[in-house]
Amino acid sequence: MSLHLYNTRAGEKQVFTTLQANQVGMYVCGVTVYDHCHVGHARVMIVFDVVYRWLKQLGYDVNYVRNFTDVDDKIIARAAERNMDIQTLTDKMIAAFHEDMDALGCLRPTLEPRATTHMPAMIAMIEALIERNFAYVSDTGDVLYSVRSFNGYGTLSGKNIDDLESGSRVDVDDKKRDPLDFVLWKQAKTGEPSWASPWGEGRPGWHIECSAMSCEHLGKTFDIHGGGMDLKFPHHENEIAQACAANGGDFARFWLHNGFVNINAEKMSKSLGNFFTIREVTETYHPEVLRMFILGTHYRSPLDFSDAALNAAKAGLDRLYETKRRLGDMNIVQANVNQAFQTALNDDFNTPEALAEVFECSRRINKGLNEHQDMVADMACFTAMTGLLAIVQQDAEIWFQGDEEDTSAIESLIEERTAAKKSRNFSRADAIRHELAAQGIILEDSATGTTWKRG
């Protein structure tokens, strides 16, 4: 089957088509770089990493753009707290972000534009909006977008402007003509970082950067726009309002939104304080376990974070690594994923289904190898599938044994035990087994000798 994806804008799965043959322009909303990323961020990045990898697998030339919001209130506040300028802070956080993403096995996007280096594009877009009467300068000198002037407002998120107003929690602000209007350009307050503009020194509102940067790098109309569910409204709605009003055409064609990571059935978020950073989790679990955990649920469903779930992901991964261990140094010549796996990913990136196929392939290999059959084709398939999901990518021995330099003590005990076994001194052999078990080391005897792993 061809690639089908759930387009938020249409509210249904659609056949994926591209604007230009064999090319995909994809924009994903990145992070505001004022702090370390948590598991919720990990989910978006991993989900769209799979999207990226799969589109490339399908033969598309993918232009994947993911931004960094590197100026906003929280960044300014955090930098002030730490007595540093915002760029020092954001540079550090971007470096940390890259470390996290690398650990999680996420490929770098084609481009990672920063808001602060795209002021001219944003200013130009705001000017166009004013010129076309979609935006106005308020009494305080801020530039605001007039939501009522854009009649497509609310179509992405299925919201009706009047319903929004009646249930609005937004403070009524005198400078706004309508409570829903949002800021495009903020006047600088003293001491804040600012940029020159036709409206004086100031800085951009949050939403404008994504409209401006996506259009600058992908064109006014492009194929895929993604991000977390929580960005659907108002962020993505505002992006559409800005881009369409300024450019006069269509904006992103397919909108993909991933579900949240929950803790105790509650959304993980900074404001609730119920979050774990990626680095906190990876102190205990290998980053690949986190990736496995995330891919175990379809990207649009909510995902409950818990130790039990992480342990289950770890146990499943261990099994796949047992298979990889048996593959050894075998030379995998041609690697193709099988039909079921393709169907799963083509069906709106159904990674749980794809993983089920990986497990079945693993079982086939183990069984075939137990029966001394030639499993090369399945092994190639296993390698291709795990490669596409970017799991089981570590060295199997290191996965089980760790990468400590000196394991000679363990090795010599194993040698001693092998000798003891040979002379049928099983009590000594068992004593060694127990001694090592006390150190968390499990011995595995096989026809080809004894191997070990950490339990």
Which residues, numbered 406-425, are part of the site for RNA (CB under 7 A)?
421
Residues 314, 297: Cα–Cα separation, whole Å: 15
Q: Does 41 participate in binding RNA (rule CB under 7 A)?
A: yes
Residues 216, 120: Cα–Cα separation, whole Å: 11
Q: Does 91 participate in binding RNA (rule CB under 7 A)?
A: no
Burial class of 341 by CB neighbour count within 10 A (0 to 12, 13 to 18, 19+): buried
Among 56, 270, 279, 286, binds RNA (CB under 7 A): 270
Q: Does 362 participate in binding RNA (rule CB under 7 A)?
A: yes
Q: Does 234 participate in binding RNA (rule CB under 7 A)?
A: yes
Q: Does 57 participate in binding RNA (rule CB under 7 A)?
A: no
Q: Does 363 participate in binding RNA (rule CB under 7 A)?
A: yes
- DSSP letters spanning 244-260: HHHHSS--EEEEEEE--
What residues between 66 and 85 interact with RNA by CB under 7 A?
69, 74
Residues 312, 401: Cα–Cα separation, whole Å: 19
Least separation, in Å, of the C-beta of 21 and RNA? 29
Among 315, 398, 409, 419, binds RNA (CB under 7 A): 315
Least separation, in Å, of the C-beta of 165 and RNA? 8
If binding means CB under 7 A, how many residues of this protein chain bind RNA?
87
Least separation, in Å, of the C-beta of 82 and RNA? 19
- Give the N- to C-terminal CA distance of the chain in Å, as an integer: 42
Residues 6, 313: Cα–Cα separation, whole Å: 26
Q: Does 173 participate in binding RNA (rule CB under 7 A)?
A: no
Q: Judge contact between 31 and 41, C-beta under 8 A.
A: yes
Containing 318, the helix (H) or strand (E) segment is helix 307-327
Instruction: Identify which of residues 23 and 140 has a Cβ nearer to RNA in the complex.
Output: 140
Residues 104, 215: Cα–Cα separation, whole Å: 29
Among 235, 253, 291, 324, binds RNA (CB under 7 A): 235
Instruction: Identify which of residues 56 and 326 has a Cβ nearer to RNA in the complex.
Output: 326
Where does 59-202 have alpha helices with state H? 73-81, 86-103, 119-131, 161-166
Q: Which stretch binds RNA (CB under 7 A): 141-149, 329-337, 404-412, 428-436?
A: 428-436
